[in-house]
Amino acid sequence: MKLLLAANWKMYKTGEEAVLTLTDLGRRLSSLPEDRQVIVFVPFTALAQAGQARAAFPAVSLGAQNCYPAEEGAFTGEISPAMIRAAGGTWVLAGHSERRSLFQESDLLIGRKTAFALKAGLGVILCVGESLPERERGDLQPVLERQLEAGLAAVDPVFLPRFAVAYEPVWAIGTGRVAGPAEILESHAVIRAFLERKYAGRGGEIGILYGGSVKPDNAGTILGLDNVNGVLVGGASLQAESFSAIALA
Of 76, 167, 82, 145, residue with least CA distance to 116: 82
**17 labelled catalytic:** no
What stretch of H or E contains 189? helix 181-198
Q: What is the DSSP string of 95-136?
A: S-HHHHHHS---HHHHHHHHHHHHHTT-EEEEEE---HHHHH
Q: Which of 96, 98, 105, 130 is catalytic?
A: 96
Give the separation between CA 244 and CA 249, rounded to whole angstroms.
8
Q: Which of 134, 168, 188, 205 is catalytic?
A: 168
For the chain, what is the total number of helices (H) and then of strands (E)? 10, 8
What stretch of H or E contains 91? strand 91-94
Give the separation between CA 211 and CA 139, rounded to whole angstroms.
19
**168 labelled catalytic:** yes
Give the separation between CA 100 and CA 110, rounded to whole angstroms.
9
**SS3 (DSSP) at 6:** strand
Active site residues per annotation: 96, 168
